[in-house]
Structure 1
Amino acid sequence: MTTLKAGDNFPEGVTFTYVPYTPELAGVTACGVPVKYDASKEVKDKKVVIVSVPGAFTPTCQNTHIQGYIEKLPQLKAAGVDQVIVISYNDAWVQAAWAKANGIKDEIIFASDDGAPFSSSIGWTLGPRTARYAIVVDHGKVVYAEKEPDKGVTVSGVDAVLAKL
């Protein structure tokens, strides 16, 4: 278990799963086939924000945490962010439904750290679930990595991330 910090290389072997958006599966109850997202490969040539929450559709995650990223996506893009990935302990189908319920098509990837293998590997879990944290990776280098010290959204919220870009 190694906690990530600014200056570290993003670890190898990190994958998530997600259901890519397609128009024919746009309904919240439509189920696509999950695919692997090779995070270790994808972050090597992009600036990526990984936002982790304990669970989809939960009050703080939905109303306080993720809404900021949805609303301020243009500012993130203007600051050079190529991709925002929202991960949680939930499986890829729940994450896909959560994205659709928020009107997200492919602007943000809602992926699963199913069983929390990545979050566990960096020691950032809440029991069996993913903890609330944010990581910014710029071309393979971690430039920001903070886990919430308590309940609430401070160091992992969009404003904290934007301030570090």
Structure 2
Amino acid sequence: MALNPGDSFPSDITFQYIPWTEEKGKITSCGIPINYNASTEWADKKVVLFSVPGAFTPTCSVNHLPRYIETLPTLKAKGVDIVAVVAFNDAFVMSAWGKANEVKNDDILFLSDPDAQFSKRIGWADASTGRTGRYALVIDHGKVSYAQIDTQRGVVTGSGADAVLASL
């Protein structure tokens, strides 16, 4: 079932994640993955969650993620507490992608959706690849206030930072 504006964010969503630390800040350093209970962590916050088909892929690395990095101060000024990106990649790859893009201090959380479990649950996994789809959600204190998916390959519109900003 797809999430729609007005829906409650599911109560049992856990991603994997490697917290950013200065001592593990180099791309060649590895941290230890931990579970990140999004349902609990986001219950009383305004969150922008965007999903990409894969870390280090062309559209995701050139068009999708950079605009979120650029607009992070504006998103925060509009009351967003947390910005997170999710992909089917494992937590090590997601952590390296954040480091490669010089995102520090968990300014954007790089979360792993193992086997695209969350994306499949909401019906927004890519059926042909089994990967996470390209979508964006705004979750405001446990309620979805924005939900858009881009289904055309290589196109970032409704899931992009500018569309999300316009919805805030």
What TM-score results when the alignment is normalised by the length of structure 1?
0.98
Alpha-carbon contact 2:90-2:114 (below 8 Å) kept = yes
Q: Check if 1:114 corresponds to 2:114.
A: yes
- Residue 36 of structure 1: how far off its partner (Å): 1.0
Show structure 1 runs of 5+ residues with no match: none
Contact 2:134 2:151 in 1 (8 A): no
Aligned equivalents of 2:23 and 2:10: distance in 1? 35
RMSD: 0.7
- Alignment map for 1:65-144 (pairs within 5 Å): 65-105=64-104, 106-126=106-126, 127-144=129-146
Per-residue deviation at 1:96? 0.2
The alpha carbon displacement at 1:43 in A equals 1.7
Q: Distance in 2 between matches of 1:153 and 1:138?
A: 23
The 1-side partners of 2:162 and 2:24 are apart by 32
Aligned equivalents of 1:5 and 1:28: distance in 2? 36
Residue identity matched to 1:5:
N
Identity over aligned pairs, percent: 56
Contact 2:49 2:85 in 1 (8 A): yes
Aligned residue pair count: 164
**Partner of 2:53 in structure 1?**
54
Corresponding position of 1:12? 11
> Could you give the per-residue CA deviations for residues 63-102 of structure 1, whole angstroms, max 9, x where no partner exists?
1000000000000000100000100010000000000000
Q: What letter is aligned with 1:41?
A: T
CA–CA distance in 2 between the matches of 1:15 and 1:146? Answer: 21
Counterpart code for 1:58: T
Q: Equivalents in 1 of 2:151, 2:54: separation in Å?
A: 17
